[in-house]
Each structure stands twice: as structure tokens, then as C-alpha cells.
Chains A and B, each alone.
Chain A
Amino acid sequence: MKVTLEVNGAPRTVECSPWKRLLDVLREDLRLTGTKEGCGEGECGACTVVLDGEAVNSCLVAIGQCDTRRVTTVEGLARGEALHAVQRALVACGGAQCGICTPGIAVCAANVVERGLIGDTDDATARARVRELLAGNICRCTGYQLIVDAVIAAAREIEGGAARQAEQRIDPV
């Protein structure tokens, strides 16, 4: 089967079985090896990608379901050498240790903060929300604490920045 999809903003066409996992297409056909396989059954989240705006486990998605759809992988988060706010915060806070879960967490967290899902909430609420929204991504190294710190920092930066831009549009000083 021939499948055409948009990966990290670029159109890509692959010819393969419709049953081939999106994870394998990314890693093998497109050589995008940032997306990792940790369990192959949708439990660990290491293979998380964003499919049409929703974070999904790419080990549970067949490529046959992906025709004409948009996929963002970890390789699509940075703009050249300019890291995404979530990536910068993960480095700054020490939220990546062994790093194997990190691409999945970065992709999921970027989706969360870009959609403004943390919101303008107090820290305790924001932390609880991050824990719930990222509960599909398992990290065995960090105890999650420093990752939560990083996602909150990125959310504050992005959502704060968006709020400032909105204010500026409404009420230019």
C-alpha cells in the first residue's frame, strides 16, 4: 500500500503493508530514530508522536490509518538548532537522565503546552495536571519530579508568552 503523510511538516510517501506500525515506518523507512520502542503495547509511551494534534503511541497505530495525516515526532520539535521550550526546560531542569523516554515525553509535553492545557493555574493544580496529562509516558530514572518542573517551566514560558502577545494585540502600550 502506498501511504502519503506529512511528517514534521514535509510530505512523505511510503510503500508498505498497511499493517506496518507507524513506529516502524518512522524508524525504518524514514530513519527517524528519535521515536523509541519501549514495550510495543502502548504502555510506556516512549514511541509517542503527535498525530493530527493528538499524542498517540505510534506502536499502536497502523500506517494504513495514516494516509493524508500529519505526524510530529521529536525530530520536528526544534527549529534547526533552536530547541523547543519543552526541550530547553528538560535540559535546564535535569529532566532527562538515560534519555530513552525523553523523546516521547518531549513530544507529549510539547503538545500539552502548545494546546495551553496547563492553563493559568496555581502550581499545585498545574503539577497535578501535568501528572495526569503525561501519565501515559513512563520514566524509570527521574521519579518524574524534575520532568514536572520542566514541563511547568515550559508551559509558563509558552502560555505566558501567548498571554503577553494577546494582551499586546488588545492593548498595545
Chain B
Amino acid sequence: MERPRPPVSPVGASVPRVDGVAKVTGRALYLDDLDAASAWHGATVRSQVAHGVLEAIELDPAFDWSAVVVVTAADIWGKNAIVLIEDDQPALVPIGGRVMHRDEALALVAAPTRALAFAAARAVRPRIAPLPAVFDVDEALTGAERLYGATNVFKQFLIRKGHATDAELDAAFAGAAQVIEGTYTTSPQEQMYIEPQAMMADWRDGRCHIVGSMQCPFYVHKAMKALLACGPDGVVITQAVTGGGFGGKEEYPSMIAAHAALLSHKAARAVKIVYDRDEDIAATTKRHPSRTRHRLAVAASGELLAIDIDVVMDGGAYLTLSPVVLSRGVLHAAGPYRCPIVRVRGRVVATNHPPHGAFRGFGAPQTTFAYERQMQKLARRRGEDPLALRKRLALRPGDTTATGQLLQFSVGTDEVIAAIEATAGAPPVRDGVNAQGAPVRRGRGVCFYFHGAGFTGSGEQHLAGRAAVAVASGGFEVRSSSSDMGQGSITIFTQLAAAALGVDPAHVTVIDPSTSRVPDSGPTVASRTAMVVGGLVERAARAVRKKLEAWAAEQNLTGSLVEIARAHAAATQAELVETATYEPPPGIHWDDATYTGSAYPVYGWAACLVDVEVDLDSYEVAITRCVQAVDVGKALNPAIVRGQIEGGTLQALGWAVLENVVYKEGKVANANMTNCIVPTFADAPELETILVEVPYPFGPSGAKGVGEIPMDGPAAAVANAVEDALGCAFDALPISPEAVAQARPRWEVS
């Protein structure tokens, strides 16, 4: 065999997505594309009452039920719960049980056609005795209606830095030269993945096979084991090609999987559930609306003396992931700034809204909006350049965060700020006219922010995620439960495995996540996939290479690793597979009881500049420029990393000015894409993206998380820019034309 030349490492190169051709040709099969001629269609009967007791479920006697299967809670033989952190949310509300929100599932129907299934769902008549409903967090905290426990508080946190008692904090504020105080509110945000939620279940060989659009196959697996009262082999969960997730397919797919499994069992055939867009917007999770009170105590020198923050989030009707969302919110609330005394209090509260849940950023965008508005107000008050102020106060190696974490490495503060300084140029001229001839006021805003990559605290250690690399089908196979929902993980894994093996990426296949074929790598969340699971893939690939090279040496074989692998497969019966298990980087200590220590193994750092033009006739805010500089550690695939940053950035800009989910009496009033809008090609500005690489020593090739960070900051930068333009504060999102109009009396006269 010829001595091979080592191929050029694909890590750091913008290799095209491995699923690119399938996607541009329409050959990629999403759940609704799977050929299932005999499958029936499922539909969900929802409460339409925000709070009450389910007294009965009646079937319209005039409807022909002969070709329809109906499932209620009485059909559930296992645990009637969507098991996640707690078991408080039922798969279907039982008779006599409490209805907690307007779109709660009460019954299910399946029929040979989707139209018949929807007609049947309309012919199911639940009878609900209403109870007073609670939609306001303050009412939930102080009122008489009990939705969760004794206090309606799902979870609360307290972070204290540099002080033991509230009196010490008060003293710091009493001694301050300046106190900056504000209350900041953010609206619920819809993920608006373009593929609605979809799932299919089928019982074969005594097992339930579930395939669908999802981020976390093992979350669904765990929930189904309880619901179906089976062991780990009794249910198989497989991710189909997934048309976007952004957190929206983190926890909710377990609900649809439960419904499809129950219907399929009773109908004794495959059942597919594909949500309509209106149902998807109304019933599935959204970003938690929030209110953050933020106080800054500042010395005459301009140094921060103390920060005091109180965060309240609306968790909705069930606990779902709210404690974790709140955790990330409070851990980011003090921002990436030096301050000796910090107090952060956080509560997430039960209401009769549909449960709020995971969405890119996961609590951090809410608190980032608050602290970056505060920094802007401080800069204005001091007459200091906003970016210079941030540069002066920003955390650097050797500083400690609000939880007392000593920052040692991969702190891109200076690099991202320098990148913005270098590209900023002159601010826009304040007064002018736009292309339509309308008068405009222009402004510029900046923000600086950070995002913890990976799970909080000791989460990764508890999870002990695994990934494997095997010699298979004439090449190498990567096996992990990380799902590619568009973020590009299968391409990144291909690159990392190929580089570690020293083979061309064409010899590496990342198999579809299926719980029967892949180890549990943990959920596809928390900006952890490339950094944590990618690291496992790299290690497993190295182990395979080492084994093969040792075997080749024994056999006196030379040649490429692919040739050696093929020879090994031919010579031995056993499959060569190496599995890597998570090992924490050194120096990570976290105390869950006191909420102190290393909240995250590493942080991403970013700075953003936004120019806006406010139309003084229509009150619309147009974003005319947006620059993001993001420290990603190492861009494993620069094109994919850019795509992640730009996509997250536009979601943040949309949240800032035009996205909003409007609740009326607990019901989403704008549950369609006509009224629940997201940015189009024409709304989006040209996005300038600067990749900064300050390597993370314990990430694969220095990479750290990038998926969520771009969502955290831009909304504050927009608000800061609008404040710069109009001379008055905007502390609530979205900054809609209505909000600009309402602020008109406060506009600064030019």
C-alpha cells in the first residue's frame, strides 16, 4: 500500500454542509414528507378555557365516529405526565382534573385523513367548570388563586457577591455618587421555526417507534418510558430532518410524541401529528416574558460599587424548563462588568398562560436587555462614550463574575470591543429624510455582553454525555444524540472526526440520532453541541485511530487509515467502536446551594453596534446597520458560524422592533404568520459579522459555544440607538411603531 499523504485538516475551513445538496434539491425528508400511506392523522382537542375543572368530555352524537379513534386520559396506562424536571404537566387532562391554560390538550382523535381528524376534533365537546384565571405575575404573587404550590413561584434564586446582608448592599447604594435605576420588560417571543411541530408513532414488534422533528431524542425517550410504562427498549425515538428548532423543539416534542404514541396504540396503526401554524403558535412554548428591576450604584470615579437586580419571569401554566431558564437569566443578569457587590434575585411564576419555555438565549436575552440599557443610561448620565464606558468596566482575565468565578482564559473582551471600534466609523447624521421622503431621526447604539457556553454549573458532570465513533460501512461513523436542526452539527462533527482520524471528510458519516443506535450525548441545547459533544467526537475519533494504528503495527500493515479500517473490518468479526464520556475541565467548581463558583466552563463574548433610522411619520424603527463581533474561541467552519451568528442576530433584531406574541385572556390573539410577524428579507439589514477567536483550551480546536450568544445583545443595542435618536428611554420590548408613537411627548426636540 502506498504511503498516504495526510489530508489538509478540514477544521477551520468553510466546507459545505454535508446535507446541503439534499436540502437545496428538496430531497431531504422532513417528518411530513415521510411516505406513510397507511398512517392516520391525529388532531388535538384543546381546552379553550384558561383555568377550570374538566367535568366531562362528550362526543357530538350527530358526528359519524365510525372511522375515528378517540383517546382521553382514561386510555393512558402509564404515568399521565410529560416527565421533564417535574411531572406536573399531564399528557391529557383527566376528568376531574384541572385545566391550566387555554390550549391544554384534553383529548385526541385520529382518522384516515387530516381533514376528518380536524372535523372530529371539533365534534369533541369538553365540559369545563371555569375558575378565576391569572395572567399577571404580580397577581400570581399576591392573589388568592393557587396555581402552583403555596406561592405560585416555580423557582427562585438569590445570588450574593461581596456582601452578607441586605444592609451592606443598602449601605453601598447610600454611599454612591450616582444611582441608575430602571425597570425593563420583554415580550414573549415565538421561535417560528418554518417547519411546524410534527411527530409520527407506530407500534411494531411490541415497541413504540416515534420519529419526528425534535432537538432532544433522549428527552422524548425519558418522557415516553414513563408515559408508556416501558423499559428503555420499549420505545425508540428517532429524529427526522428538523426544520428549525431554536429551543422550540427542546421540550414540547415530548407532548406531541405522547399524543402520537397513544393514538397509534389505540388505532393499531401509524399515526402522524403535524401541527397547523395557528395551533403551533397558540399551544407550544415561547420565550418567557420578563420584568427586570435593575439598580446600579456608581462611584464618582465611574467605577461600579454595587448592582441590585430583581428578575420576574412568567412561567405559564406548568413548570417545564422554567427553573433552568431563570437560572441562566439570573447568572447573566449582572453582565460582563466588574463590580464588588452584586445581589440578583429571580423568580419564575405560575400563570394561566400556556407554558413558556426554551428559546435561544434561554433567559439571558431578557436580563441582557436590562443591564445593557442600564449601561447606556450610565454613559448618558456621565456624558461618557458608551463603548468606552463598557471597555473601562468590562471583565477581563483575573476578574470575577457575579458568582465569584475567576476568569482565567478565553476572555475576548478587548478583541470584540476593538473590532467594533475599528469598524464603527462616524455615527449617522441625526436628522434627515429617508428614501420615501419622510423625516427621520437617526441614532447609534452599542452593547457588550457575554454568554455562558454549555450547561450551568455541574450540569455536564451530572449528565455525563457520551458520543461514539465506529468503523462501519467502509468508513467511519459518528454516533451521538445531538440533532442537526439547521445549525450544522453533522457537518461540524464530520470535520472534527475527519481531522482527528486524519482522513478525508468523505469517509465520515454522522448517523441520524435514534435512541436505539446512539449513546446519550445530552440534549441539543445550551450552545454545547460543538463545544462539548464535538469534543467527545474528537476524543472518540482519536481513540479509534490509535486502536487501528496499533493493530496495523501488529499486522505489519501500512496504508491510509481508511484502508486499515477496511482491513480490520475484514479480519475481525467485532465492530470497532470507541465511546468518549464527558470529563470536566480542571478548575470547575460550582455550589448549587449558594449559587457561587464556576457558573459555566467558559463564556462567549460579543459586542454589537446598531444604527437606526426612526421614521417620524410612520414611527417605524428601521435598522440601517448592524455589526456583531463575537468571540467564538475557534470558528470550526466559518460559514456555518457566520450563519449561526447572523440568524441569531436577526431573531434579536426582530424581537427588538417587530416580533410580539399578544395574549388576550390567556389566548394568543395573533396565532398566525400574518399577525405574528418575523423579519423578512426586506426587513433585515445587511449584517456585518466579525469572528473573533480567543481559544478555549478545553474545547475542540479551541471552539466554544456560539449558538445562543448572538440573540442576547442586539435588542439592547437597538433600544440604545433609538434612545440616541429620540433622546428618550425605551425600556420595553418590542419598540413597535405604537411604542414610538406613545413616547412622542418624551421625544427630545431637535
A interface residue numbers (CB < 8 A to B)? 27, 31-41, 43-44, 46, 73-75, 77-78, 83, 86-87, 90-94, 96-103, 106, 127, 130-132, 134-148
Contact = CB atoms under 8 A, between A and B. Distances in A.
B646 A44 contact: no
Contacts of A90: 20, 24
B194 A98 contact: yes
Given A101-B194, A139-B194, A94 B14 contact: yes
Contacts of B27: 34
A140 B672 contact: no
A1 B438 CA distance: 52
Interface stretch (B95-103, B132-140, B497-505, B677-685): B677-685
Nearest to B676: A43
B569 interface: no
9 contacts: A31-B35, A39-B672, A74-B25, A99-B22, A99-B24, A132-B681, A138-B678, A142-B647, A146-B642
Given A39-B673, A91-B20, A77 B25 contact: yes
A106 B650 contact: no
Nearest to B649: A143
B379 interface: no
B28 interface: yes
B89 interface: no
Contacts of B276: 40
Nearest to A127: B686
Contact of A100 (B243, B277, B686): B243
Given A40-B276, A75-B26, A90-B24, A97 B643 contact: yes
Nearest to B33: A33
Nearest to A75: B26
Contacts of B649: 143
Interface string B309-341: 000000000000000000000000000000000
B277 A41 contact: yes
Nearest to B190: A140
B20 A96 contact: yes
Given A41-B673, A143-B647, A148 B681 contact: yes
Given A91-B20, A147-B681, 11 more contacts: A38-B277, A40-B277, A77-B25, A90-B24, A91-B24, A92-B16, A94-B16, A135-B680, A138-B678, A139-B194, A139-B681
A17 to B, nearest CB: 11
B681 A99 contact: no
Contact of A135 (B19, B648, B681): B681
Nearest to A147: B681
A141 B244 contact: yes
Nearest to B243: A100
B240 to A, nearest CB: 11
Contacts of B192: 140
Contact of B195 (A33, A35, A98, A137): A98
B21 interface: yes
Contact of A134 (B22, B244, B643, B681): B681
Given A40-B277, A99-B28, A140 B686 contact: no
A82 to B, nearest CB: 11
Given A91-B20, A143-B646, A33 B672 contact: no
Contacts of A135: 680-682
Main secondary structure of the interface of B (DSSP, over half): loop
Contact of B25 (A27, A87, A142, A146): A87
Nearest to B641: A94
Contact of B642 (A39, A73, A94): A94
B152 to A, nearest CB: 33
B30 A100 contact: yes
Contacts of A38: 194-196, 277, 673
A93 B678 contact: no
A94 B640 contact: yes
The 5 closest A-B pairs by CB, nearest first: A34-B26, A98-B486, A100-B243, A99-B23, A143-B646
Nearest to A101: B194
A31 B36 CA distance: 11
Most buried by B among A97, A106, A132, A138: A97
B643 A106 contact: no
Contacts of B648: 143
A33 B29 contact: yes
A94 B643 contact: yes
Contacts of A101: 194, 243
Given A91-B20, A144-B684, A100 B25 contact: no
A63 to B, nearest CB: 15
A32 B25 CA distance: 11
Contacts of A99: 19, 22-24, 28, 241, 243, 486
B747 interface: no
B151 to A, nearest CB: 37
A146 B646 CA distance: 9
Contacts of A37: 32
Contact of A91 (B17, B246, B646): B17
A41 B674 CA distance: 8
B195 A41 contact: no
B53 interface: no
Interface in B581-615: none
B21 A91 contact: yes
B193 A142 contact: no
B671 to A, nearest CB: 11
B24 A87 contact: yes
Contact of A141 (B19, B24, B486, B682): B486
Interface in B485-502: 485-488
A11 B139 CA distance: 63
B159 interface: no
Contacts of B21: 83, 87, 91
B687 interface: yes
Contacts of A41: 277, 672-674
A35 B30 CA distance: 11
Contact of A138 (B647, B672, B680): B680
Contacts of A130: 681
Contact of A44 (B19, B23, B246, B673): B673
B487 A97 contact: yes
Interface string B633-653: 000000110110111111100
